[in-house]
Amino acid sequence: MKIRPLAVPGSFLLEPQLLGDHRGHFYESFKGSAFTAAVGRPFHIAQTNFSVSRRGVVRGLHTTHVPPGQAKIVMCHRGALQDIVVDVRWGSPTFGQYQVTVLEAASGAAVYIAEGLAHGFAALTDDTCIGYLCSSEYAPDHQLGLNPFDPELALPWDVPDGTPVVSEKDRAAPSLRELQAAGLLPHYTDCLRFHGREAGRQEEARP
């Protein structure tokens, strides 16, 4: 498996090696030791989620308060999707920047999103299925929504005819500037301290 950092610090692309023969193929979608070696901290799976969307559906942008935070590894199990990660950590050197990655089921690739980053995606095919490995369980009181069509972010959503299918909750979510003014965004230094504690726990657990 190849694991490499993406343009937004705290996000990584996981690319498995596909082993194929006349029957089909096999690959490792996640390996804890390889992840920890590449990212510098472990990933503990507390919850797994799946969503199925028709072409043109946009879900997100979503993030959480830090702490408690929630990191994710997202992968496409069926179809294809346009994955977008946005740095919404107030005080980050890359605040407001984003990373676009196309994930296809055939490749087995996945994206890791650290705590404090916002995430969303657009389904590029009908019946697109995305899976989420989550580092913590869903906690509704700690969820934050960000408008995916915030004009200041100007995210390049790939949707047919420019007409996305989106929930009313996501469409009505506040802009990045509004969340910043309300003091609701995760702070960059809080995220770094949180990541350091997670890495420290890994060191303490080693024999």
Catalytic residue numbers read: 62, 132
- Tell me the β-bridge partners of 170: none
Position 70, amino acid: Q
Separation of alpha carbons 35 and 68, rounded Å: 21
Residues 6+ apart with CB under 8 A from 207: none
Within the chain, strands assigned E span 2-5, 11-15, 19-21, 24-26, 47-53, 58-64, 72-78, 80-87, 98-104, 110-113, 117-123, 128-134, 143-145
Residues 6+ apart with CB under 8 A from 5: 11, 12, 13
Sequence length of the chain is 207
Separation of alpha carbons 137 and 149, rounded Å: 27
